[in-house]
Structure 1
Amino acid sequence: MSLRTPGPAELAPTPSTAQRLAAWGLRVFGALLFIAALLFGASKAPDRSLESLVPQWAPPPSDFIELGGQPIHLRDQGPAADPTPIVLLHGTSSSLHTWEGWVKALSRERRVISVDLPGFGLSGPSPSGDYRDAAYQKFLAALLDHLKLERVILGGNSLGGQIAWQFAAAQPQRVGALILVDAAGYPLAPRDVPLAWRVSALPLIGPLSDHLLPRKLVEFSLRQVYGQPERVNAPLVDRYFELTLRAGNRTALRQRLAQWGGGEQADLIPKLRLPTLILWGERDRLLPPSDGQAFARDIAGSRLVLLPGLGHVPQEEDPAASLKPVLEFLHTLKP
């Protein structure tokens, strides 16, 4: 009997083994992270009530409406007579505040509505605990009905972009144009998923995040999604940190990540037939620019603009630079 030395390919772990090792390593890292935070006494962060957050994060023109059994935080700005208002939808773990730079400029001439999606910001958790795609489609339809909006321009970043294009595919008569900003939609192959999301999704460690939240973890995650991390400052971290502490939001994030399908409806994208602007940060490490190129390839007549130096949330990182192509796009649309 002869002995044979296994080759490199045979010694390499199978994909399933590699995935198990990666998952195990992430669990260990997450556990160590939270243990370290506990030892330093800097991570325990109790929920904050909606009432305690409103003075800081919902000054006028913020408003709340009752929708689906929960209060929904929104801002409705600009001329009410605008025949086709612009509705802006934020991404995971964000809030309507991410659009403030855009809204300030757009609302001089256009009616602009920004909203905290269920599970995030001051709107807080959905009573049903349902954060699947269909639930967000139902929410958006109910929002437009409540505001008596027959037809709108939908803009969305990340998760908000996915909600926007899915809604346009399902109800094309209600959407005049799309503005997709680093939008989700294709099967996710992230190069650098924010650490806070990964920790929240861990079966054993995730539930601890309902009670623990190191501020440094929030800062680290923001630096991951910005193309220029030096732009992340203390007020920005404070906003994300405090709104994440809104009662129920941490549990909602875990539920959202657990329910995330990831690219399940990508086959609908080529069926879109409406004016579409696609903006993408060239330094987006969560959803790479190749996803933006895929949207441009699949949506006939769409226009892709790559934004140098910016990351996953260009509307927040550099409102002026990211808004310029939006203004040009809006001027090309028929009234």
Structure 2
Amino acid sequence: MKKFSIKQLLLYLTYLLFILYGPIYRDISVDELKVDYSNKYSKFINVDNLQVHYRIEGEGTPIVLIHGTASSLHTWDAWTAELKKTNKVIRMDLPAFGLTGPNATADYSIKSYTNFLNKFLTKIEIDTFYLAGNSLGGNIAWNFTAEHPNKVKKLILVDASGLRTNKPQPAVFKLAKTPLLSDLFLYITPKFFIKKNMREVYADDTKITDELITRYHKMALRDGNRQAFIDRARMDFKLGSKANLEKLKSIKTLTLLLWGAKDNWIPLDNGKRMDSVMQNSKLVVIENSGHVPMEENPKESLVILKSFLSNE
């Protein structure tokens, strides 16, 4: 019989309590979510039998924005509002998340995501571009750049994953990997659980609005997204493997590493290690920011980004 530590038992007990007292939430259809979370710029395109939700706004040099785990293209709203004045801004809901939802294979490996990104950009006829990604999106972005160096003019990694964090995994990922609890997660996903995760992701709790929590909560309830989150969390990305490090080292593209100093999920130390490995990178730290600076500190992060893009 498997033995559990006191810490593990307390963690499981905590989740059992919220399961016992939390309401059951039904899945929400994508058509229902479109009412609130699509707009005049929203389009849908078939990629690998998925109806991928994406938006293209503005004119100029294309910049592609990739969100992180459990997020959606909406995380880039503030950046898009400013960047579309000078650039063609392209963003999409990744497979497993947002309005796009799960794929049929349940393959959410980084290789699967880079293949998806390449097919998507080919379909919308975008050849060369700036590429930015946050968290999981950053991991996809730097792997894509290593695989397609001639397509990416400049690379922007915002609190990107891809190296070991030397910290315990966030509780939400532990839950997704835990038998029984992960099965119950398919039916019981209370808003306070989403709020708890947001408080871990943000440095300034006062910026966590009810509207923000509701958006993340409803996107989590999109038909199939909860199972997809579990499937993605269980993927072995082999963080920090020798092959991954060599791949990261191979990137010659000019790279901005933008990091929140108070990131509790992927700490600043990861940004420093990534900067030490990459050939042509610059690390810039936003002091009062957590894991999603483009969402939590859009004005400050945009100043840094625009300076990076304007310097040839």
State the TM-score bracket (shorter-chain normalisation): over 0.9
The answer to whether residue 189 in structure 2 is matched with residue 213 in structure 1 is yes
Moved more, 263-272 or 29-38: 29-38
Aligned counterparts, 1:14-25, within 5 A: 21-22=4-5, 25=7
CA shift, 1:134, in A, is 1.0
The answer to whether residue 265 in structure 2 is matched with residue 282 in structure 1 is no
SS of the residue aligned with 2:40?
A: coil
**What is residue 26 of structure 1 aligned with on the other side?**
8
The answer to whether residue 45 in structure 2 is matched with residue 65 in structure 1 is yes
Structure 2: runs of 5 or more not aligned: none
CA shift, 1:28, in A, is 5.4
The answer as to whether partners of 2:165 and 2:267 remain within 8 angstroms in 1 is no
CA shift, 1:173, in A, is 1.1
SS of the residue aligned with 2:102?
A: coil
The 1-side partners of 2:146 and 2:269 are apart by: 22
The 2-side partners of 1:239 and 1:259 are apart by: 25
Letter in 2 for 1:251: Q
The answer to whether residue 146 in structure 2 is matched with residue 166 in structure 1 is no
> What RMSD, in angstroms, separates the aligned Cα atoms of the two structures?
1.7
The answer as to whether partners of 1:31 and 1:205 remain within 8 angstroms in 2 is no
The 1-side partners of 2:23 and 2:81 are apart by: 35
The 2-side partners of 1:244 and 1:96 are apart by: 14
CA shift, 1:174, in A, is 1.1
The answer as to whether partners of 1:43 and 1:215 remain within 8 angstroms in 2 is no
SS of the residue aligned with 2:230?
A: helix
**What is residue 6 of structure 1 aligned with on the other side?**
none
CA shift, 1:232, in A, is 1.1
**What is residue 3 of structure 1 aligned with on the other side?**
none
The answer to whether residue 164 in structure 2 is matched with residue 154 in structure 1 is no
Moved more, 227-236 or 242-251: 227-236
The 2-side partners of 1:27 and 1:235 are apart by: 34
The answer as to whether partners of 1:195 and 1:217 remain within 8 angstroms in 2 is no
Moved more, 194-203 or 112-121: 194-203
SS of the residue aligned with 1:169?
A: helix
The 2-side partners of 1:295 and 1:302 are apart by: 9
Q: TM-score, normalised by structure 1?
A: 0.88
The answer as to whether partners of 1:181 and 1:279 remain within 8 angstroms in 2 is yes
The 1-side partners of 2:3 and 2:203 are apart by: 30
The 2-side partners of 1:85 and 1:67 are apart by: 20
Partner of residue 53 from structure 1, selected from 33, 37, 44: 33
The answer as to whether partners of 1:194 and 1:225 remain within 8 angstroms in 2 is no
Q: TM-score, normalised by structure 2?
A: 0.94
**What is residue 270 of structure 1 aligned with on the other side?**
249
The 2-side partners of 1:20 and 1:289 are apart by: 34
Percent of counterpart pairs with the same letter?
Answer: 34
The answer as to whether partners of 1:90 and 1:157 remain within 8 angstroms in 2 is yes
